[in-house]
Amino acid sequence: MSDLLIRIAHFSDTHISSFGNFLEKYFDKTADAINRLDPAPDIVIHSGDLTDNGVLEDYEFAIEKLKSINGRLVLAPGNHDERNYGQELFKEMLGNLDREEHIGRLAVYIMNSPEPDRDEGRLGRRRQAFLEEKLSQLPKDIIKVIVFHHHLVPIPYAGRETNVLEDAGDILETVLRNSVSFVFMGHRHVSRVLRINQSILINAATTSSIRTRGRLGHSFNIVDIYSDNRINVIEYNTSLDKTFLKESFDMTQIV
């Protein structure tokens, strides 16, 4: 029987606020479910829109709520986080908007895709060049992970497409050329898993916003990597209190 080597928990679009769009009970259910995972995640990834308005009150409330989640937590900024000059509060209270983390065999690159006070996103040439340089230097046994808020490809059930990354084609080429194992994203409030070549693109639904899609509800993702090179992507739907196997991959080329 194969052993579980790495576990990643992935949630997004919490939209924490005291001003009407935040459903606190679903955040609390998510935090409890993540904390009860056995074994515990090696890393917990949040792919943006931690807050709803980017204002100080939202960030202070969000910091308190994040304390309820155990483990190594990394957060990417979302477009809502950068409203109302919120990008400065993110840097002050949570760390740099762009950063690099190494956790065991994972090399994680958190990229700032939003632009202040806009819904649209882009990484730009500077971040693309940074990723090209860093990814090309990694040893072969390292699992490459990129996290940003905006999605690389259109998401089903998310309505009319308007906010895919402005430079999505260039960034997707960087991802594929460097055999990035995982790209974690959010933004459209719909869970989706898509494999392109050796790369797995994973979107999370909203964790706790009132703005769900149809009856899809609230959820977060669990990514399990096993010693036999199998990868399971599981959706934990907190609205239904059920788990669903989204996809299973044989990823010998990655790990």
pLDDT in tens, 93-121: 999 999 999 999 999 999 999 999 999 99
- Indicate if the pLDDT at residue 1 is higher than 90: no
Q: How far apart are CA 100 and CA 138, in angstroms?
A: 12
Q: Give the residue ranges of DSSP H helices in 119-224.
A: 124-136, 168-177
- In whole angstroms, give the CA distance from residue 5 to residue 12: 24
Residue 11 identity (one-letter amino acid): F
pLDDT in tens, 190-216: 999 999 999 999 999 999 999 999 999
pLDDT tens sequence across 19-52: 989 999 999 999 999 999 999 999 999 999 999 9
CA distance 37 to 35: 6
Q: Give the whole-number percent of the chain exceeding pLDDT 90.
A: 91
And the tokens for 113? 């895709």
Confidence of residue 150 (pLDDT cuts 50, 70, 90): very high
The predicted-structure confidence for 127-146, as pLDDT tens digits, reads as follows 999 999 999 999 989 999 99
What share of the chain in percent tops pLDDT 70? 98
State yes or no: cis peptide before 39, omega within 30 of 0.
yes
> Distance between CA 72 and CA 94 in Å, rounded?
13
SS3 content of the chain, % helix, strand, coil (to 5): 25, 30, 45
What is the predicted pLDDT for the residue at 255?
A: 47
Q: Which fold has domain 4-250?
A: Purple Acid Phosphatase; chain A, domain 2 (3.60.21)
Q: Domain segments of the chain: what residues? A: 4-250
Q: How far is CA 93 from CA 24, 56, 65, 132, 222, in A?
A: 21, 10, 13, 28, 26
pLDDT band at 253 (very low <50, low <70, confident <90, very high): low
Say whether pLDDT at 246 is over 90.
Answer: yes
Give residue 160's pLDDT band: very low, low, confident or very high (50, 70, 90).
confident
23 contact partners, CB below 8 Å, separation of at least 6: 208, 209, 210, 218
Residue 250's pLDDT is what?
87
